[in-house]
Amino acid sequence: MPRIRSVFDQADRGELSTRMERVTADTRPLWGKMNAPQMLAHLNAALAMGLGELAVKPKRSPLANPLGRWLAIYALPFPKGAPTAPELQVPAGGDWAGELARFRDLLERTGARSPGGDWPRHPVFGAMTGKQWGDLAFRHIDHHLRQFGA
């Protein structure tokens, strides 16, 4: 069974940061409607949500149960073009370097949190453990880095 990648692992965080450094504001996506600055702002919002710094309205979802949550985080491929919460559809910031620095900060702060601590409810998946947040964060960031060929 392959190792589950997580933002709680320092090497995994380093890989994500290195890959994000390969993306520029002008990098074109391989799929989807977001441009690179929108993708980076979206990931920053998602990390802020996981830290409890951005409130996101919950949605009714068939994935807000243990089996659905497990399938979405660990088993099913990440869907291309899936809808996201309006709070995570943020306009791109004007300063790529500033948004990139914010990404690194949010990623490191997420990784530094205790997986055993209190974590906010996810708007789609409901109550999640810190481990689930860390594993999902890795998969989400990885998904969008692949979207931009990094």
pTM score, two decimals?
0.94
Q: What is the pLDDT of residue 31?
A: 94
Closest CA to 47 of 115, 123, 109: 109
CA 44 to chain CA mean position, Å: 8
Beta bridge partners of 126: 122
56-96 pLDDT per residue, tens: 999 888 888 899 999 999 999 988 888 788 888 877 767 89
Q: What is the pLDDT of residue 23?
A: 98
Count of CB atoms situated within 10 Å of the CB of 85: 17
85-142 pLDDT per residue, tens: 888 887 776 789 999 999 999 999 999 998 988 999 999 999 999 999 999 999 999 9
Q: Cα(30)–Cα(149) distance, rounded to whole angstroms?
A: 7
Count of CB atoms situated within 10 Å of the CB of 113: 18
Q: Cα(59)–Cα(119) distance, rounded to whole angstroms?
A: 18
2-27 pLDDT per residue, tens: 789 999 999 999 999 999 999 999 99
Rg (CA), the chain: 14
Q: What is the pLDDT of residue 117?
A: 86
Give Dmax (Cα) for the chain: 42
Task: Write out the two tokens for 109.
Answer: 């702060």
Consecutive H or E run containing 64: none
Domains of the chain: 10-147 (1.20.120)
Greater confidence, 62 or 41? 41
